[in-house]
Chains A and B, each alone.
Chain A
Amino acid sequence: MEIDEDRSDLEKEREEQDEEEEDSVFDLLRDRFRLSAISIAEAEAKRNGMEISEPIVACIADLAFKYTGQLAKDLELFAHHAGRKSVKMEDVIVSAHRNEHLFAVLMSFRNKLKVKEPQSERKRRKGSRKEDKATDSVVHVPDV
């Protein structure tokens, strides 16, 4: 019995350590997310010909991160409700069903993805995507 107790104590300690580690990983992910969000927001402000100060950009990034958390919970719930273990594109689209415009935008984005990468060619997909990128970066000079 005592041995069992010792073990559970050890396990608890290890669990706590794991949690701390996970928290630091999560913080790292959050910071990476914020950085990308900040660059998106700044680019958008520039496009609108507006200046935007740093604290406000950071605020919007934080808001987006919170929205991500909410979205994650929604997606998991939707997938489980459909009896699936994995989240599909449909779940993402359902999460935007309140906003007709957003719904349409996501639908068209999904169709674009589907056209670009047919599901039947999964294995070829990665290779072809790399090729796409390669051709994108090459500047085509017409022969004429």
Chain B
Amino acid sequence: MDDNNTPSLDPDLIGAIFKHIWARKAHERERNGIQSTDALDSEVGAGTSKKYRPTSTNADALKLSSELLRIFITEAVQRAATIAEAEGGTEIEATHVERILPQLLLDF
């Protein structure tokens, strides 16, 4: 983490992906009509489902999200590496990833 050379995710890329997912979700919501999501939308305020106002993200939140995702990836590899090491191998194999997967998903 202290190493400056380690690759990281571009916050702008994460932002673009988030926007896309939100736009898609809003689109689906619109198409399904108001009935199914009425309870949720009424909390946000009237008219949100009709006139779609996109969710935005502030820059620091994006940085934090990309850090979170980076940790997710490094954790996956590290845990798999630990298991591979315990088995005496030098290569991470599919079975190692399979074994760490449930706990990883619970932890994130």
Using a CB–CB distance below 8 Å, which chain A residues touch chain B? Answer: 22, 25-26, 29-30, 32-33, 36-37, 39-41, 43-45, 48-53, 55-56, 59-61, 63-64, 67-69, 71-73, 75-76, 79-81, 83, 85-89, 91-93, 95-96, 98-99, 102, 105-106, 109-110, 113-114, 117, 136
Contact = CB atoms under 8 A, between A and B. Distances in A.
B55 A79 contact: yes
A109 B24 CA distance: 30
Interface of B (DSSP majority class):
helix
A114 B58 CA distance: 13
Given A32-B10, A76-B25, 5 more contacts: A41-B77, A44-B78, A56-B93, A87-B61, A106-B64
A22 B20 contact: yes
Kindly list the 5 A-B residue pairs having the minimum CB-CB distance in the complex, ordered from nearest.
A48-B81, A44-B77, A51-B91, A72-B21, A86-B56
A67 B108 CA distance: 9
Interface in B1-53: 4, 6-10, 13-14, 16-18, 20-25, 40, 43-44, 53
Contacts of B63: 113
Interface residues of B, number: 55
B55 to A, nearest CB: 5
Given A37-B73, A52-B91, A53-B91, A76 B22 contact: yes
